[in-house]
Amino acid sequence: MANHAATKKSIRQNERRRLHNRYYAKTTRNAIRAIRNTTDKKAAEDGAPKVYAMIDKLAKIGVIHKNKASNLKSGIAVYINKLG
C-alpha cells in the first residue's frame, strides 16, 4: 500500500476513473449488441445515431482508440445495410 498522501490520492482517482470508464464502455457495448441483435432495419437505423454518438464519446474521452471507434461504427453500418 502507498505511504505518500499524493500516491493514495492517485490510487483513489484511478479507481474512480476505472469505474467511470467501465460503466460507459459496458453501456455502449450493450447498445451495440442491441443494434446487432435486431432484425428490423427501421429500428436499427433509428438507433444507430445514438450508438454512433456513444462510440464517439468513448473515443473522445480515451476509453477506446479512435480507430476502434471507426471500426465499430463501420461494422454497424455494414450490418444495417445488410438488413432487408
In a domain, 8, yes or no: no
In a domain, 12, yes or no: no
In a domain, 27, yes or no: yes
Q: Tell me the residue range of the domain where 22 lies.
A: 18-82
Q: How far is CA 37 from CA 34, 43, 45, 83, in A?
A: 5, 11, 13, 11
In a domain, 10, yes or no: no
In a domain, 32, yes or no: yes
pLDDT in tens, 41-73: 999 999 999 999 999 999 999 999 999 999 999
CATH number where 37 lies: 1.20.58.110
Percent of the chain with pLDDT over 70: 100
Q: Which residue is associated with the grid cell 464519446? A: 57
Domain count, the chain: 1
pTM summary value: 0.87
